[in-house]
Chain A
Amino acid sequence: DIQMTQSPSSLSASIGDRVTIACRASQTISNYLNWYQQKPGKAPKLLISAASTLQSGVPSRFSGSGSGTDFTLTISGLQPEDFASYYCQHSYTIPWTFGQGTKVEI
């Protein structure tokens, strides 16, 4: 299985901060990488697919980059509604796996 490792596991930030979350794959996955946001008690929500394609309706302060094994999710100008957990996920091979998550807290 391809292991997805996110860092950090949690972070504290303030409104307006620029936040960067890293995701590393245990082998190359090209750009078969997605990012999700999950708020407590809710299902995950797709933010970015194919490493950098912002989904319709997702604010432009979210961006994704990377290819191969190293990927980044950036939130430029953190807003109150962005405090949540974030997960990366690959679809390069079966089984698809997720990172362990990054919790963004105040």
Chain B
Amino acid sequence: QVQLQESGPGLVKPSQTLSLTCTVSGDSISSGNFYWSWIRQRPGKGLEWIGYIFYAGNMKYNPSLESRLTISIDTWKNQFSLRLSSVTAADTALYYCARAVRSVGRFHFDLWGQGTLVTVSS
């Protein structure tokens, strides 16, 4: 079955760039009407959608993060990635990659990675 797996450093220093990769296994990242997404959950808090990318390259970002955010896709490696620059302690969170399905103009997240904890600290 299709699975998502996040990878990347668990510790990032303040002002540096947080970089994570999500590897998709079990299907091609280019197949289907899927929008490959990043979502985070700060400690003890709710869920925050970060952004998504479609295999053709178009993306949407959360405006609150857009100035620091880049989401990219590598269809050859079946991966998509997140880069968040100028991080602060407020970016400490459990980061999930997820697959959003588009159906009649509506989107829902039907598949999630297990999540990876990123701590911003010196």
- Chain A residues proximal to chain B, CB less than 8 Å: 1, 31-32, 34, 36, 42-46, 49-50, 55, 87, 89, 91, 94-101
Contacts and interface: CB of A to CB of B under 8 A. Distances in A.
Contacts of B108: 34, 46, 49-50, 89, 91
Contacts of B60: 94
Contact of A34 (B62, B64, B104, B109): B109
A89 B107 CA distance: 10
A1 B115 CA distance: 25
Contacts of B49: 89, 95-98
A45 B109 CA distance: 8
Interface of B: 46-49, 60, 62-64, 96, 98, 100, 103-110, 112-115
B48 A98 contact: yes
Contacts of A46: 108-110
The 4 closest A-B pairs by CB, nearest first: A43-B112, A91-B107, A49-B108, A98-B47
Nearest to B110: A46
Contacts of B113: 43
Given A49-B103, A50-B103, A44 B109 contact: yes
A96 B47 CA distance: 10
A63 to B, nearest CB: 16
A55 B96 CA distance: 21
A34 B110 CA distance: 10
Contact of A91 (B46, B98, B106): B106
27 contacts: A32-B105, A32-B106, A32-B107, A34-B108, A34-B109, A43-B96, A43-B115, A44-B96, A45-B112, A46-B109, A50-B103, A87-B47, A89-B49, A89-B108, A91-B106, A91-B107, A94-B62, A94-B63, A95-B49, A95-B63, A96-B107, A97-B48, A97-B49, A98-B46, A98-B49, A99-B46, A101-B47
Contacts of B107: 32, 91, 96
A31 B106 CA distance: 9
B114 A43 contact: yes
Contacts of A87: 46-47
